[in-house]
């Protein structure tokens, strides 16, 4: 409701008159030619109850009209948007930001104390030459791990969508596509997010959105430190158009670096430290929050030397398969052709013919191996393909039929197992 200038002129000199609102990128919208409606002293602030200049605009096509809810003085005290009351720098609720930066709320909630506090805060902010956050927020430490992982890096325009059409929920909406409201099913009324209070959002108390974000942060995966103390190498992923010097300039602050290896084909790099403490410190500080040259990089621990040296394939959980004996009778590795053979494509020269014949004769497969010695098992076989029991009355053991194991399928301990995973079926 608009307040007349002729009535209720108490403390009128402190009424706020502004030329442009303090908004976040999401509430402002993506339209560069936005048009706003301005009304001086059109509404009371929902925090300090003082009349202020309100602005009303449409952030984009198929979006609902939005307006300012609190005055600019309250917005500067908390460094929040005048419409959504989210932090202007991180796009998070006040409760999440204050808990991450360990800030305690000092704004009084009583009417008289609040008015006195607001007037003193306005005087202090008017003396500052450059605009900056007020109070403890200006003296807070750099962004913590919580803010780096939960902060929004891009505007979330879905928050500007119209409200749900109540006639559509009842099945009585006759506008169809011309209806300015959303034709969707409403959320569960028992959902905590359906009950949000603007005062709780401002003071950072009992905010359901903040509690949801904090619970999501606790469920984020953590980087496990390997038990092998000899591992001092970190794997850096998503390394695109980045050289060795950029990585070295960033990681040198954690300790002495032994080597930095960049693999452009795999878009990754390996940073090896001289001490384990430096590698642990770098992994803890850079996990899920490493940004170099505007690119977010992934950080993981490198594999130990014992795991890299084994020739078997790695299965689930880093378990390597056993190395089996080489299969006899297979040809050896064919050497690279000589320069004469590379230029002689049709084999017309005499030297190439001699080289080819020598190569073919030197790499002929060996003669077939004799059949395995089956022992007493051959005596139990008859020409009529009738098996006769041996002296003990039991079939011969399976180990006597296989002298050596060359493939996983020949291993009796892996019968029915899957070679890709390296684990027997249970």
Which stretch, 120-134, 195-209, 288-302, 310-324, has highest mean pLDDT? 195-209
Is the pLDDT at 348 greater than 60, yes or no? yes
Q: How many CA atoms lie within 13 A of 89 on its CB side?
A: 15
Mean pLDDT, to the nearest integer, of 373-389?
A: 48
Residue 65 — very low, low, confident or very high, per pLDDT cuts 50/70/90?
very high
Tokens of 25: 């990128």
Residue 368: per-residue pLDDT? 60
Q: Above pLDDT 90, what percent of the chain?
A: 31
Instruction: Tell me the C-alpha distance between 331 and 324, whole Å.
Output: 18
3 state SS for 242-256: CCHHHHHHHHHHHCC
Residue 421: per-residue pLDDT? 46
Lowest mean pLDDT among 155-169, 230-244, 364-378, 380-394: 380-394
Per residue in 284-299, pLDDT (tens digit) is: 888 877 888 878 888 9
Residue 254: per-residue pLDDT? 92
Give the DSSP H or E segment for 282.
helix 276-286
Is the pLDDT at 332 greater than 70, yes or no? no
Residue 307 — very low, low, confident or very high, per pLDDT cuts 50/70/90?
low
Instruction: Tell me the C-alpha distance between 156 and 227, whole Å.
Output: 41
In a 3-state reduction of DSSP, which class is residue 270?
Answer: strand
Residues in CB range of 405: below 8 A, 6 or more apart: 324, 325, 411
Burial class (CB in 10 A: 0-12, 13-18, 19+), 305: exposed
Instruction: Tell me the C-alpha distance between 162 and 149, whole Å.
Output: 29
Q: What is the rounded average pLDDT for all residues in the chain?
A: 77
**Residue entry with tokens 């959320």:** 187
Question: 84: closest CA among 38, 131, 152?
Answer: 152
Is the pLDDT at 359 greater than 80, yes or no? no
Separation of CA 98 from chain center: 23
Per residue in 127-150, pLDDT (tens digit) is: 776 667 776 776 676 667 788 778
Mean pLDDT, to the nearest integer, of 24-47?
A: 91
Please state, as a whole number, how many other Cβ atoms lie within 10 Å of the Cβ of residue 23: 20
C-alpha dihedral sign at 96, 101, 104, 107: negative
Instruction: Tell me the C-alpha distance between 323 and 320, whole Å.
Output: 9
Residue 235: per-residue pLDDT? 92
Residue 404: per-residue pLDDT? 66
Q: Which residue has the higher pLDDT, 98 or 318?
A: 98
- Domains, the chain, ordered by start: 10-220 (no CATH), 233-304 (3.30.70.330)
**Residue entry with tokens 């014992």:** 306
The reported pTM is 0.57
Is the pLDDT at 361 greater than 80, yes or no? no
């Amino acid at each position: 409701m608009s307040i007349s200038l002729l009535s209720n002129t108490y403390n009128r000199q402190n009424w706020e008159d502004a030329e442009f609102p303090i908004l976040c990128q999401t509430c402002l919208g993506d339209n560069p030619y936005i048009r706003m409606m301005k009304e001086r002293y059109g509404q009371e602030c929902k925090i300090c109850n003082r009349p202020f200049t309100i602005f009303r605009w449409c952030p984009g096509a198929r979006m609902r009209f939005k307006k300012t809810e609190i005055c600019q003085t309250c917005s500067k005290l908390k460094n929040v948007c005048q419409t959504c009351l989210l932090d202007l720098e991180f796009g998070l609720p006040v409760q999440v930001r204050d808990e991450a930066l360990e800030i305690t709320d000092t704004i009084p909630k009583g009417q008289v104390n609040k008015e006195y506090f607001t007037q003193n805060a306005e005087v202090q902010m008017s003396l500052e030459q450059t605009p900056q956050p007020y109070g403890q927020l200006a003296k807070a430490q750099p962004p913590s791990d919580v803010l780096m992982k939960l902060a929004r890096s891009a505007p979330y325009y879905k928050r500007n969508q119209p409200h749900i059409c109540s006639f559509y929920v009842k099945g009585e909406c006759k506008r169809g596509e011309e209806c300015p409201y959303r034709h969707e099913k409403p959320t569960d009324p028992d959902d905590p997010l359906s009950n949000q209070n603007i005062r709780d959002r401002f003071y950072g108390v009992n905010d359901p959105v903040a509690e949801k974000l904090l619970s999501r942060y606790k469920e984020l995966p953590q980087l496990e430190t390997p038990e092998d103390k000899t591992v001092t190498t970190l794997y850096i992923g998503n390394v695109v158009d980045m050289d060795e010097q950029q990585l070295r300039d960033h990681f040198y602050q954690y300790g002495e670096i032994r080597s930095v290896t960049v693999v452009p084909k795999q878009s990754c790099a390996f940073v090896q430290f001289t001490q384990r403490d430096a590698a642990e410190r770098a992994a803890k500080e850079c996990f899920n929050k490493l940004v170099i040259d505007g690119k977010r990089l992934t950080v993981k621990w490198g594999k130990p030397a014992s795991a890299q040296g084994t020739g078997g394939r790695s299965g689930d959980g880093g378990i390597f398969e056993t190395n089996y004996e080489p299969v006899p009778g297979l040809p050896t590795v064919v050497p690279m052709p000589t320069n004469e053979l590379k230029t002689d494509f049709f084999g017309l020269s005499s030297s190439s013919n001699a080289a080819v014949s020598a190569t073919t004769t030197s790499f002929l497969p060996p003669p077939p191996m004799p059949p395995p010695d089956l022992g007493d098992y051959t005596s139990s076989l008859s020409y009529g393909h009738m098996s006769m029991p041996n002296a003990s009355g039991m079939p011969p053991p399976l180990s006597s039929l296989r002298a050596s194991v060359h493939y996983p399928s020949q291993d009796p301990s892996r019968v029915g197992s899957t070679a890709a995973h390296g684990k027997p079926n249970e």
